[in-house]
Amino acid sequence: MKRKIKYWCTVVGIFILGAAMYIGGCWWTASYSTIAGVPILNYHQVNDVNYSPLTMQVPHFEQQMAYLHDNGYHTITLDELYAFLEEGKALPDKAVVITFDDGYQDNYKNALPILKKYGMKATVFMIGDSVGAPRFMTADELRTMQQNGIDVESHTYSHKDLTKMDQANVESELMRSRLILEDVLHKPVRYVAYPCGFYNDTVLKATKDTGYRLGLTVTTGNARRGDNPLALQRLAVFEGDDPFLSMRIRLHMADLVGSMWKLRDALRDHGYVEIASKVPLI
């Protein structure tokens, strides 16, 4: 009996030690090397009014930006990310990309002052037909963002599901968005985030044919050299019960988090809905 207890204590001890070494290795590698890829953080709204998983409260957003700043992270532009992924250019250690989808006005009112405070670069993916619409940024606000180091890129023209369109209509969505934003900003628009992250082969071909350099999804993971540049992974940052902890886990352990989401989706796709619901998602 004592031998069995000793055996199982040893097994559990080895498992815990191995898990700790794996987690520690992931944390260190993600923090200090581009081997693990470049994390692309994905936000939406930043305010204290609309409470939802996609609405980060202002104090929580500032806490996360302060963490990046105080821990030596370097925010980079999508031009810099493209040069790293496709041209072999170097990046600083602890490089990170900050993105916002949709172009909500609170990005200008609430996020911009915090980004300026900590010297952060970022990218806003703006819906073309929402420029100047209620709750969304105006042309003047977009120009102010651009002047303060916040790049503005495409989130398509109308934010419709591109996977339900033929190639001609996808190209129209991409080109109309580009024309509007280039007219407002007087600079090239080269990058796109797909609405809800949805894409397929038709979307990828249309994105390539219309001259976009990078396409961003919401599949969980980091961006690495060798990835399809038109289907880059990101790390969605949710409000949730503990947004600060969740953001740090995603930042440092993107592969593990991505694997858990893929496991959940695979189980659900094969009909194991109840088991899928038990998979812990961070």
| pLDDT for position 120 | 98
Tell me the three-class secondary structure of 206-248, residue by residue: HHHHCCCCEEEEEEECCECCCCCCCCEEEEECCCCCCHHHHHH
- How far CA 272 is from CA of 17, 259, 261, 281, in Å, comes to 31, 17, 14, 16
pLDDT for position 264: 85
Architecture of the domain spanning 37-278: Alpha-Beta Barrel (3.20)
- Calpha distance 194→245 (Å, rounded): 27
Structure tokens at 260: 């858990």
Note down pLDDT in tens along the chain; length 282 residues: 555 454 443 333 333 333 333 444 444 444 455 578 999 999 999 999 988 889 999 999 999 999 999 999 999 999 999 999 999 999 999 999 999 999 999 999 999 999 999 999 999 999 999 999 999 999 999 999 999 999 999 999 999 999 999 999 999 999 999 999 999 999 999 999 999 999 999 999 999 999 999 999 999 999 999 999 999 999 999 998 899 999 999 999 999 988 887 888 888 888 888 887 877 776
What span, in angstroms and rounded, lies between the C-alpha atoms of 236 and 91? 22
Please give the DSSP secondary-structure letter assigned to residue 120.
Answer: -
